[in-house]
A = this chain, B = another copy of it.
Amino acid sequence: MPDAAVSTTGTATTPTFDDVTKARERLAGVAHRTPVMTSRYVDSLVGGQLFFKCENLQRAGAFKFRGAYNAIASLTPDQRRRGVAAYSSGNHAQAIALAASLQDTPAVILMPEDSPAVKLAATRSYGAEVVTYDRYAQDREVLGAELAGKRGLTLIPPFDHEAVIAGQGTAAAELFEETGPLDLLLVCLGGGGLLAGSSLSAAALSPDCRVVGVEPEAGDDGRQSLEAGRIVTIPVPRTIADGAQTTHLGALTFPIIRRHVERIVTVGDADLLAAMRIFFERMKIVVEPTGCLSLAAALSEAVDCRGQRVGVIVSGGNVDMARAAALLAG
Protein backbone atom coordinates (compact mmCIF):
# COMPACT_ATOMS: atom_id res chain seq x y z
CA MET A 1 0.00 0.00 0.00
CA PRO A 2 2.57 2.61 -0.96
CA ASP A 3 -0.12 5.29 -1.30
CA ALA A 4 -0.62 5.32 2.44
CA ALA A 5 2.94 6.51 2.97
CA VAL A 6 2.62 9.49 0.64
CA SER A 7 2.60 12.94 2.17
CA THR A 8 2.73 15.96 -0.09
CA THR A 9 3.19 18.66 2.50
CA GLY A 10 4.49 16.90 5.61
CA THR A 11 2.44 18.53 8.31
CA ALA A 12 0.41 21.44 6.98
CA THR A 13 1.25 23.54 10.02
CA THR A 14 2.42 27.08 9.44
CA PRO A 15 6.08 27.30 10.51
CA THR A 16 7.29 29.82 13.08
CA PHE A 17 10.70 31.24 13.94
CA ASP A 18 11.11 28.35 16.39
CA ASP A 19 11.10 26.03 13.39
CA VAL A 20 13.82 28.18 11.79
CA THR A 21 15.89 27.79 14.95
CA LYS A 22 15.42 24.01 14.89
CA ALA A 23 16.39 23.97 11.23
CA ARG A 24 19.61 25.81 12.04
CA GLU A 25 20.51 23.05 14.49
CA ARG A 26 19.91 20.36 11.86
CA LEU A 27 21.92 22.28 9.26
CA ALA A 28 24.89 23.05 11.52
CA GLY A 29 28.05 21.55 10.01
CA VAL A 30 26.14 20.41 6.91
CA ALA A 31 25.08 23.58 5.08
CA HIS A 32 27.70 26.23 4.41
CA ARG A 33 27.48 29.37 6.44
CA THR A 34 27.73 31.46 3.29
CA PRO A 35 29.69 34.71 3.30
CA VAL A 36 28.12 38.16 3.50
CA MET A 37 29.75 40.31 0.82
CA THR A 38 29.76 44.05 0.38
CA SER A 39 30.61 46.24 -2.60
CA ARG A 40 31.67 49.85 -2.36
CA TYR A 41 30.80 50.19 -6.04
CA VAL A 42 27.19 49.06 -5.62
CA ASP A 43 26.83 51.13 -2.45
CA SER A 44 27.90 54.20 -4.43
CA LEU A 45 25.25 53.42 -7.08
CA VAL A 46 22.34 53.09 -4.66
CA GLY A 47 23.43 55.53 -1.93
CA GLY A 48 22.98 52.94 0.82
CA GLN A 49 24.88 50.10 2.40
CA LEU A 50 24.12 46.66 0.95
CA PHE A 51 24.90 43.30 2.56
CA PHE A 52 24.79 40.40 0.11
CA LYS A 53 24.02 37.01 1.62
CA CYS A 54 25.71 34.78 -0.95
CA GLU A 55 23.60 31.66 -1.25
CA ASN A 56 25.07 31.16 -4.72
CA LEU A 57 28.02 29.83 -2.70
CA GLN A 58 25.76 27.40 -0.79
CA ARG A 59 26.11 23.65 -1.37
CA ALA A 60 24.48 22.65 -4.66
CA GLY A 61 24.66 26.32 -5.64
CA ALA A 62 21.51 27.74 -4.01
CA PHE A 63 19.62 28.37 -0.76
CA LYS A 64 17.37 25.42 -1.68
CA PHE A 65 19.78 23.03 0.03
CA ARG A 66 18.73 24.43 3.40
CA GLY A 67 15.04 23.60 3.05
CA ALA A 68 15.65 20.30 1.28
CA TYR A 69 18.02 19.00 3.93
CA ASN A 70 15.77 20.17 6.74
CA ALA A 71 12.73 18.51 5.17
CA ILE A 72 14.45 15.16 4.71
CA ALA A 73 15.92 15.33 8.23
CA SER A 74 12.36 15.82 9.52
CA LEU A 75 11.09 12.54 8.00
CA THR A 76 10.70 9.30 9.91
CA PRO A 77 13.47 6.70 9.44
CA ASP A 78 11.03 4.58 7.44
CA GLN A 79 10.16 7.47 5.10
CA ARG A 80 13.86 8.17 4.56
CA ARG A 81 14.48 4.49 3.75
CA ARG A 82 11.70 4.43 1.12
CA GLY A 83 12.94 7.58 -0.51
CA VAL A 84 11.83 11.02 -1.60
CA ALA A 85 10.51 12.62 -4.79
CA ALA A 86 10.60 16.25 -5.90
CA TYR A 87 9.51 18.42 -8.79
CA SER A 88 11.53 21.52 -9.48
CA SER A 89 12.62 24.05 -12.06
CA GLY A 90 16.14 23.12 -11.07
CA ASN A 91 17.71 24.22 -7.82
CA HIS A 92 15.27 22.40 -5.55
CA ALA A 93 16.00 19.28 -7.58
CA GLN A 94 19.74 19.51 -7.03
CA ALA A 95 19.19 20.35 -3.40
CA ILE A 96 16.95 17.32 -2.80
CA ALA A 97 19.36 15.11 -4.72
CA LEU A 98 22.32 16.21 -2.58
CA ALA A 99 20.42 16.31 0.71
CA ALA A 100 19.00 12.84 0.06
CA SER A 101 22.39 11.43 -0.83
CA LEU A 102 23.89 12.86 2.40
CA GLN A 103 21.13 11.15 4.37
CA ASP A 104 21.32 7.83 2.45
CA THR A 105 17.85 8.36 1.01
CA PRO A 106 16.91 7.42 -2.58
CA ALA A 107 15.65 10.40 -4.62
CA VAL A 108 13.59 10.68 -7.82
CA ILE A 109 13.42 14.14 -9.39
CA LEU A 110 10.88 15.46 -11.89
CA MET A 111 12.47 18.29 -13.91
CA PRO A 112 11.34 20.40 -16.89
CA GLU A 113 12.94 19.08 -20.07
CA ASP A 114 14.16 22.64 -20.85
CA SER A 115 16.03 23.04 -17.55
CA PRO A 116 19.54 24.48 -17.88
CA ALA A 117 21.93 21.67 -18.83
CA VAL A 118 24.12 22.35 -15.80
CA LYS A 119 21.16 21.74 -13.50
CA LEU A 120 20.13 18.45 -15.13
CA ALA A 121 23.71 17.20 -15.05
CA ALA A 122 24.33 18.28 -11.46
CA THR A 123 21.12 16.61 -10.25
CA ARG A 124 22.16 13.33 -11.83
CA SER A 125 25.72 13.71 -10.53
CA TYR A 126 24.37 13.71 -6.96
CA GLY A 127 23.00 10.23 -7.60
CA ALA A 128 19.33 11.05 -8.14
CA GLU A 129 17.09 9.54 -10.81
CA VAL A 130 15.79 12.31 -13.13
CA VAL A 131 12.40 12.14 -14.90
CA THR A 132 11.74 15.02 -17.36
CA TYR A 133 8.46 16.66 -18.42
CA ASP A 134 7.17 19.53 -20.57
CA ARG A 135 6.65 22.50 -18.27
CA TYR A 136 4.31 24.27 -20.69
CA ALA A 137 2.00 21.27 -21.24
CA GLN A 138 2.09 19.06 -18.13
CA ASP A 139 1.13 19.80 -14.51
CA ARG A 140 4.13 18.97 -12.35
CA GLU A 141 2.07 18.73 -9.19
CA VAL A 142 -0.13 16.00 -10.66
CA LEU A 143 2.87 14.19 -12.13
CA GLY A 144 4.77 14.45 -8.84
CA ALA A 145 1.89 13.03 -6.81
CA GLU A 146 1.49 10.16 -9.30
CA LEU A 147 5.20 9.35 -9.18
CA ALA A 148 5.31 9.45 -5.39
CA GLY A 149 2.17 7.34 -5.05
CA LYS A 150 3.35 4.72 -7.52
CA ARG A 151 6.72 4.25 -5.82
CA GLY A 152 5.90 4.89 -2.16
CA LEU A 153 8.08 7.98 -2.03
CA THR A 154 7.55 11.06 0.12
CA LEU A 155 7.09 14.09 -2.09
CA ILE A 156 9.02 17.12 -0.89
CA PRO A 157 7.42 20.15 -2.56
CA PRO A 158 9.69 23.04 -3.54
CA PHE A 159 8.18 25.67 -1.28
CA ASP A 160 4.83 24.89 0.33
CA HIS A 161 6.11 22.76 3.19
CA GLU A 162 6.71 23.64 6.82
CA ALA A 163 10.25 22.24 7.04
CA VAL A 164 11.22 23.69 3.66
CA ILE A 165 10.10 27.20 4.64
CA ALA A 166 11.84 26.91 8.01
CA GLY A 167 15.05 25.74 6.35
CA GLN A 168 15.02 28.62 3.84
CA GLY A 169 14.65 31.07 6.74
CA THR A 170 18.05 30.11 8.12
CA ALA A 171 19.95 32.17 5.50
CA ALA A 172 18.36 35.45 6.65
CA ALA A 173 18.87 34.42 10.29
CA GLU A 174 22.61 34.07 9.63
CA LEU A 175 22.61 37.41 7.83
CA PHE A 176 21.00 39.30 10.73
CA GLU A 177 23.34 37.57 13.16
CA GLU A 178 26.25 38.99 11.20
CA THR A 179 24.96 42.48 10.35
CA GLY A 180 22.70 43.26 13.28
CA PRO A 181 19.34 44.93 12.58
CA LEU A 182 18.73 46.15 9.02
CA ASP A 183 16.35 48.73 7.57
CA LEU A 184 15.32 46.70 4.56
CA LEU A 185 15.57 43.11 3.34
CA LEU A 186 15.19 42.27 -0.36
CA VAL A 187 14.23 38.69 -1.19
CA CYS A 188 13.28 37.13 -4.52
CA LEU A 189 10.25 34.91 -4.80
CA GLY A 190 8.80 32.20 -6.95
CA GLY A 191 6.52 30.16 -4.73
CA GLY A 192 7.58 32.20 -1.73
CA GLY A 193 9.44 29.67 0.45
CA LEU A 194 12.57 31.80 0.76
CA LEU A 195 10.56 35.01 1.20
CA ALA A 196 8.28 33.48 3.86
CA GLY A 197 11.19 31.92 5.78
CA SER A 198 13.27 35.12 5.53
CA SER A 199 10.35 37.20 6.80
CA LEU A 200 10.01 34.94 9.86
CA SER A 201 13.68 35.56 10.65
CA ALA A 202 13.35 39.30 10.04
CA ALA A 203 10.29 39.58 12.32
CA ALA A 204 12.17 37.79 15.10
CA LEU A 205 15.67 39.21 14.73
CA SER A 206 15.16 42.68 13.24
CA PRO A 207 11.51 43.57 13.88
CA ASP A 208 11.73 47.06 12.36
CA CYS A 209 13.21 45.74 9.11
CA ARG A 210 10.89 46.16 6.13
CA VAL A 211 10.82 43.01 4.02
CA VAL A 212 10.25 43.50 0.29
CA GLY A 213 9.72 40.64 -2.14
CA VAL A 214 11.01 40.83 -5.72
CA GLU A 215 9.62 38.89 -8.67
CA PRO A 216 9.92 39.11 -12.45
CA GLU A 217 7.59 41.53 -14.27
CA ALA A 218 6.33 38.65 -16.42
CA GLY A 219 5.39 36.63 -13.33
CA ASP A 220 3.87 39.11 -10.85
CA ASP A 221 1.41 36.68 -9.26
CA GLY A 222 2.86 37.48 -5.83
CA ARG A 223 2.19 41.19 -6.19
CA GLN A 224 -1.29 40.49 -7.54
CA SER A 225 -1.95 38.12 -4.64
CA LEU A 226 -0.93 40.64 -1.97
CA GLU A 227 -3.16 43.26 -3.62
CA ALA A 228 -6.12 40.90 -4.00
CA GLY A 229 -5.74 39.40 -0.53
CA ARG A 230 -5.94 35.89 -2.00
CA ILE A 231 -3.64 33.58 -3.98
CA VAL A 232 -3.77 34.60 -7.66
CA THR A 233 -2.67 32.01 -10.23
CA ILE A 234 -1.09 33.04 -13.54
CA PRO A 235 0.06 31.10 -16.62
CA VAL A 236 3.71 29.92 -16.54
CA PRO A 237 5.62 33.19 -16.99
CA ARG A 238 8.29 33.49 -19.69
CA THR A 239 11.31 35.09 -18.03
CA ILE A 240 15.04 34.41 -17.85
CA ALA A 241 14.55 34.01 -14.08
CA ASP A 242 13.84 30.30 -14.41
CA GLY A 243 13.75 29.83 -10.65
CA ALA A 244 10.78 32.19 -10.43
CA GLN A 245 8.63 30.61 -13.16
CA THR A 246 6.01 29.58 -10.62
CA THR A 247 2.33 30.22 -11.23
CA HIS A 248 1.15 30.89 -7.66
CA LEU A 249 2.17 31.25 -4.04
CA GLY A 250 1.52 28.40 -1.62
CA ALA A 251 -1.20 27.81 0.94
CA LEU A 252 1.49 27.98 3.65
CA THR A 253 3.73 30.69 2.19
CA PHE A 254 0.99 33.20 1.31
CA PRO A 255 -0.32 33.86 4.86
CA ILE A 256 3.24 34.34 6.19
CA ILE A 257 4.09 36.72 3.35
CA ARG A 258 0.84 38.62 3.84
CA ARG A 259 1.62 39.09 7.53
CA HIS A 260 5.31 39.96 7.37
CA VAL A 261 6.12 41.34 3.90
CA GLU A 262 5.58 45.05 3.24
CA ARG A 263 5.18 44.75 -0.51
CA ILE A 264 6.29 42.93 -3.62
CA VAL A 265 8.01 44.77 -6.48
CA THR A 266 8.89 43.56 -9.97
CA VAL A 267 11.89 43.96 -12.28
CA GLY A 268 12.34 43.22 -15.98
CA ASP A 269 14.70 40.74 -17.61
CA ALA A 270 16.98 43.58 -18.80
CA ASP A 271 17.39 44.70 -15.20
CA LEU A 272 18.36 41.15 -14.25
CA LEU A 273 21.08 41.12 -16.89
CA ALA A 274 22.46 44.45 -15.70
CA ALA A 275 22.62 43.10 -12.16
CA MET A 276 24.22 39.87 -13.36
CA ARG A 277 26.95 41.87 -15.08
CA ILE A 278 27.67 43.83 -11.90
CA PHE A 279 27.93 40.63 -9.89
CA PHE A 280 30.27 39.20 -12.52
CA GLU A 281 32.48 42.18 -13.31
CA ARG A 282 32.52 44.05 -10.01
CA MET A 283 31.91 41.44 -7.32
CA LYS A 284 33.49 38.51 -9.22
CA ILE A 285 30.70 36.11 -8.36
CA VAL A 286 28.42 34.09 -10.59
CA VAL A 287 24.72 34.64 -9.93
CA GLU A 288 21.92 33.05 -11.94
CA PRO A 289 19.15 35.32 -13.29
CA THR A 290 16.72 34.51 -10.47
CA GLY A 291 19.45 35.34 -7.94
CA CYS A 292 19.77 38.77 -9.55
CA LEU A 293 16.19 39.81 -8.71
CA SER A 294 16.98 41.42 -5.35
CA LEU A 295 19.99 43.44 -6.56
CA ALA A 296 18.04 44.47 -9.67
CA ALA A 297 15.31 45.84 -7.40
CA ALA A 298 17.86 47.76 -5.32
CA LEU A 299 19.20 49.33 -8.53
CA SER A 300 15.72 50.18 -9.84
CA GLU A 301 13.36 52.97 -8.90
CA ALA A 302 11.04 50.43 -7.28
CA VAL A 303 13.13 50.45 -4.10
CA ASP A 304 14.83 53.41 -2.46
CA CYS A 305 18.00 52.31 -0.65
CA ARG A 306 19.33 55.81 0.08
CA GLY A 307 20.72 56.01 3.60
CA GLN A 308 19.49 52.49 4.35
CA ARG A 309 21.25 49.35 5.55
CA VAL A 310 19.89 46.74 3.18
CA GLY A 311 20.09 42.95 3.23
CA VAL A 312 20.13 41.37 -0.23
CA ILE A 313 19.55 37.64 -0.47
CA VAL A 314 21.47 36.28 -3.45
CA SER A 315 19.55 33.09 -4.00
CA GLY A 316 21.68 30.99 -6.35
CA GLY A 317 24.46 30.67 -8.90
CA ASN A 318 23.45 27.80 -11.12
CA VAL A 319 23.91 29.16 -14.61
CA ASP A 320 26.34 27.56 -17.04
CA MET A 321 28.83 29.69 -18.95
CA ALA A 322 27.19 29.02 -22.31
CA ARG A 323 23.82 30.27 -21.08
CA ALA A 324 25.37 33.27 -19.32
CA ALA A 325 27.22 34.18 -22.51
CA ALA A 326 24.07 33.78 -24.63
CA LEU A 327 22.01 35.88 -22.23
CA LEU A 328 24.53 38.69 -22.25
CA ALA A 329 25.04 38.61 -26.00
CA GLY A 330 21.30 38.57 -26.73
Q: Mark A107-127, 1 if CB is under 8 A from B, else 0.
A: 000000000001000000000
Chain B residue with Cβ nearest A125 = B41
Give the copy number.
2
What residues on B are CB-neighbors of A287 within 8 Å? 284
Are A329 and B320 in contact, CB atoms less than 8 angstroms apart?
Answer: no
A56 interfacial by beta-carbon distance below 8 Å? yes
- Identify which of residues 268-283 in chain A touch chain B, using a CB-to-CB cut-off of 8 Å: 277, 280-281
A61 interfacial by beta-carbon distance below 8 Å? yes
What residues on B are CB-neighbors of A329 within 8 Å? 325
What interface size band does chain A fall in? 20 to 34
* Whole-angstrom distance between the Cβ of A246 and the nearest chain B Cβ: 23
- Identify which of residues 1-59 in chain A touch chain B, using a CB-to-CB cut-off of 8 Å: 35, 37, 56-57
A303 interfacial by beta-carbon distance below 8 Å? no
Q: Which of B285, B320, B328 contacts A281 (CB 8 A)?
A: B320
Contacts A35-B35, A325-B325, A329-B325 given; does A61 touch B284 at CB 8 Å = yes
A321 interfacial by beta-carbon distance below 8 Å? yes
A286 interfacial by beta-carbon distance below 8 Å? yes
Contacts A57-B284, A118-B281, A285-B285 given; does A321 touch B321 at CB 8 Å = no
Chain B residue with Cβ nearest A316 = B284
What residues on B are CB-neighbors of A61 within 8 Å? 284
Are B284 and A321 in contact, CB atoms less than 8 angstroms apart?
Answer: no
Are A321 and B35 in contact, CB atoms less than 8 angstroms apart?
Answer: no
* Whole-angstrom distance between the Cβ of A174 and the nearest chain B Cβ: 15
Are A321 and B118 in contact, CB atoms less than 8 angstroms apart?
Answer: no
Q: How far is the CA of A120 from the CA of B57 in the complex (A)?
A: 29
